[in-house]
């Protein structure tokens, strides 16, 4: 019978909780920046001229072809050497996760925009709206509502992916769990706690997004 | 009287498919013109060309004597003077009835909120839906949605109203309420071009009926009495006789 000695968790819970704070902070920032960048890229891929669409397509395709861990490591180790700009592991993680996740968001946004009925666009044009007006007032609001379930998946993957920031020593939850597990020789207890903590963060998050979608779905039905 | 809209030998092709072939007629101020004919005869295409949702391939469409502009900004200005009502209503589902009607004045005309509000209130009252202002479109019946769509188009105070089969997607019991609103609009002197399969409406409300046949050809035109009771063309008679179910 395994001895569930919880002394390491009892001793280090403040340290671990601080890591949860870093994880939540990194997650929230990454979600905010990658949604912003992803929506912009998705909209521009639909409406911009070819001179912009082509490089954006290349960006999206390459981000889907490169593991996020590789982007992260490159951003932390290679980017500062190439540019002379070094902002520390937290910001490197934020940048890497953002450019990666935004590519997926952009694809979702593009699919959402393309799913809006042509009749809606004709109706907006017939009122005399300009292209930017019809995108902002008619297409995007409906597309965003329809995208919500897919965005929800991306948000939960993003929160989970912040754990790889541990590899560049961002003091987030996973990194601190590794530290505590290593020092206390109690990996079973600590890593089990890690499972539970991630579940407790993510399960309500995905449920919340589903419930929001259930409430607003009718706004995107045309 | 000078025509508000004039079609001069309008042609429209999609690749090798001919949607409109040399269509010429004009619409005077205050006139109600109904376009009838079998599906695929180019009536809706002509309507979409009229406000530039489609580009014509040949000929010309004149608004108040001037050809439709080629620039985007010019076309936007033209569209602001033409209201359009669609078969599937196309209300904006994410906005309330009230917001739908205010959308044009607020966004396109940049009218101030109070004025747009007053205009929307008056128009919803006019189409008999003042009590539905706060509803979302999805909560309305088809007939109610179409009346809101008419109010939304009227909110731009257009010179011409284009109706693209406005009752084709409606349940039979709600068709009447939409046609009544359109009749009232006609009685007030609105210039209207109506693509319709409602022959009773065409007979009672139209000043002129234009008959199209497959291939986008204008077959004949005339006052409803002539078209329905004594058509000049055999094929008009054929088309009209096919509308009646004779078992």
Cβ atoms within 10 Å, residue B99: 20
A162-206 per-position pLDDT tens digit: 999 999 999 999 999 999 999 999 999 999 999 999 999 999 999
- Per-residue pLDDT band at B2 (split at 50, 70, 90): confident
Q: Which residue of A has its CA nearest to B94?
A: A219
pLDDT score of B245 more than 70: no
Residue appearing with tokens 């376009």: B35
pLDDT score of B218 more than 70: yes
pLDDT score of A215 more than 70: yes
Please check whether residue A85 lies inside any domain of the structure: yes
- Per-residue pLDDT band at A220 (split at 50, 70, 90): confident
Q: What is the DSSP string of A18-61?
A: HHHHHHHHHHHHHHHHHHHHHHHHHHHHHHS-HHHHHHHHHHHH
A101-110 per-position pLDDT tens digit: 999 999 999 9
Residues from chain A contacting residue B80 (CB–CB below 8 Å): 127-128
Please check whether residue A178 lies inside any domain of the structure: yes
Chain A touched by B86 (CB under 8 Å): yes
CA distance A126 to B83: 7
Residues A100 and A71 sit within 8 Å (Cβ to Cβ): yes
- Could you tell me what percent of chain A has a pLDDT over 70? 100
Residue appearing with tokens 């609001």: A141
Whole-number pLDDT of residue B246: 57
Please check whether residue A2 lies inside any domain of the structure: no
What distance in Å separates residue B9's CA from the closest CA in chain A? 24
A128-172 per-position pLDDT tens digit: 999 999 999 999 999 999 999 999 999 999 999 999 999 999 999
Q: pTM above the 0.80 mark?
A: yes
What distance in Å separates residue B76's CA from the closest CA in chain A? 5
Cβ atoms within 10 Å, residue A208: 12
Q: Which residue of B has its CA nearest to A140?
A: B94
Whole-number pLDDT of residue A87: 86
Domain extent, residue A41, equals 10-220
Whole-number pLDDT of residue A219: 85
Q: How far is CA A215 from CA A99, A219, B138, in A?
A: 30, 9, 14
Please check whether residue A1 lies inside any domain of the structure: no
- Could you tell me what percent of chain B has a pLDDT over 70? 98
Whole-number pLDDT of residue A30: 97
Please check whether residue A5 lies inside any domain of the structure: no
CA distance B13 to B30: 30
Whole-number pLDDT of residue A221: 77
Tokens matching residue B94: 């994410």
End-to-end CA distance of chain B: 45
Query: Chain A interface, mutation test: which of B50, B94, B139, most A Cβ atoms within 10 Å?
Result: B94
- Per-residue pLDDT band at A124 (split at 50, 70, 90): very high
Least confident of A60-64, B37-41, B134-138: B37-41
Whole-number pLDDT of residue B1: 65
How confident is the prediction for chain A on average, in pLDDT?
A: 94
B43-95 per-position pLDDT tens digit: 999 999 999 999 999 999 999 999 999 899 999 999 999 999 999 999 999 99
Please state at what angle helix B142-154 crosses helix B113-126, rounded to 10 degrees. 130
How distant is the alpha carbon of residue A17 from its chain centre?
Answer: 21
- Per-residue pLDDT band at B181 (split at 50, 70, 90): very high
Whole-number pLDDT of residue A205: 92
Residues A74 and A89 sit within 8 Å (Cβ to Cβ): no
Is 0.90 exceeded by the ipTM?
yes
Q: How far is CA B50 from CA A160, A199, B9, B82, B164, in A?
A: 54, 58, 13, 9, 12
Nearest residue to A197 via CA among A20, A14, A45, A51: A20
Tokens matching residue A87: 């902002």
Q: Which residue of A has its CA nearest to B85?
A: A123
What would the mean pLDDT of B13-36 be, rounded to a whole number?
95
Total structural domains within chain A: 1
Residues A212 and A134 sit within 8 Å (Cβ to Cβ): no
CA distance B118 to B115: 5
Contact (CB<8Å) A141/B94: yes
Nearest residue to A124 via CA among B84, B50, B139: B84
Contact (CB<8Å) A218/B138: yes
- Per-residue pLDDT band at B40 (split at 50, 70, 90): confident
Q: What is the dihedral of CA B79, B80, B85, B90, to 10 degrees?
A: 90
Q: Which residue of A has its CA nearest to B87?
A: A119
How confident is the prediction for chain B on average, in pLDDT?
A: 93
Chain B touched by A120 (CB under 8 Å): yes
Residues from chain A contacting residue B100 (CB–CB below 8 Å): none
Q: CB neighbours of A8 closer than 8 A, spacing ≥ 6?
A: A180, A181, A183, A184, A186, A189, A190
* CATH code of the domain covering residue A103: 1.10.3720.10
Whole-number pLDDT of residue B247: 54
E strand intervals along chain B: 3-14, 17-28, 32-36, 58-63, 66-67, 82-85, 160-164, 191-195, 208-213, 217-222
Which residues 133-162 of A have a C-beta within 8 angstroms of B? 133, 137-138, 141-142, 145
Helices (H), A115-186: 118-126, 131-134, 140-161, 173-184
Chain A touched by B231 (CB under 8 Å): no
pLDDT score of B232 more than 60: yes
């Amino acid at each position: 019978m395994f001895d569930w000695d919880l002394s390491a968790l009892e001793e280090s819970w403040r340290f671990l909780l601080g890591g949860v704070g870093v994880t939540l902070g990194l997650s929230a920032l990454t979600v905010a920046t990658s949604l912003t960048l992803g929506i912009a890229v998705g909209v521009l891929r639909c409406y911009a001229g070819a001179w912009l669409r082509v490089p954006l397509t290349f960006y999206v395709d390459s981000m889907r072809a490169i593991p996020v861990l590789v982007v992260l490591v490159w951003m932390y180790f290679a980017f500062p050497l190439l540019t002379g700009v070094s902002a520390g592991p937290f910001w490197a993680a934020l940048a890497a996760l953002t450019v990666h996740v935004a590519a997926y968001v952009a694809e979702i946004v593009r699919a959402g925009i393309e799913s809006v009925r042509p009749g809606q666009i004709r109706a907006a044009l017939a009122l005399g709206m300009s292209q930017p007006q019809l995108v902002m007032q008619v297409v995007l609001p409906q597309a965003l509502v329809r995208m919500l379930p897919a965005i929800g998946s991306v948000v939960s993957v993003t929160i989970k992916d912040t754990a790889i920031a541990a590899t560049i020593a961002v003091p987030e939850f996973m990194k601190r769990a590794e530290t505590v597990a290593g020092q206390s020789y109690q990996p079973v207890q600590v890593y089990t706690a890690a499972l539970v903590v991630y579940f407790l963060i993510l399960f309500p998050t995905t449920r919340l997004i589903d419930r929001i979608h259930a409430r607003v779905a009718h706004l995107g039905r045309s | 009287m000078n025509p508000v809209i004039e079609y001069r030998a309008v042609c429209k092709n999609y690749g090798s498919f001919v949607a409109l072939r040399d269509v010429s007629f004009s619409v005077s101020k205050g006139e109600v013109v109904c376009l009838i004919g079998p599906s695929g005869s180019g009536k809706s295409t002509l309507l979409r060309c009229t406000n530039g949702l489609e580009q014509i391939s040949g000929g010309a469409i004149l608004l108040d004597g001037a050809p439709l502009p080629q620039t985007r900004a010019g076309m936007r200005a033209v569209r602001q003077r033409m209201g359009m009502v669609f078969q599937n209503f196309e209300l904006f589902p994410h906005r309330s009835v009230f917001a739908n009607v205010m959308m044009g004045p607020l966004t396109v005309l940049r009218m101030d909120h109070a004025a747009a509000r007053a205009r929307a209130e008056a128009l919803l009252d006019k189409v008999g839906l003042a009590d539905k202002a706060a509803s979302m479109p999805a909560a309305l019946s088809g007939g109610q949605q179409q009346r809101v769509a008419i109010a939304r188009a009227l909110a731009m105070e257009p010179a011409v109203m284009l109706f693209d089969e406005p009752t084709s997607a409606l349940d039979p019991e709600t068709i009447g309420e939409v046609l009544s609103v359109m009749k009232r609009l006609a009685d007030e002197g609105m210039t209207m071009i109506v693509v319709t399969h409602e022959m009773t409406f065409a007979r009672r409300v139209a000043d002129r009926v234009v008959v199209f046949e497959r291939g986008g050809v204008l077959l004949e035109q005339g006052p409803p009495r002539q078209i329905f009771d004594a058509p000049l063309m055999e094929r008009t008679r054929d088309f009209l006789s096919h509308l009646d179910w004779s078992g």
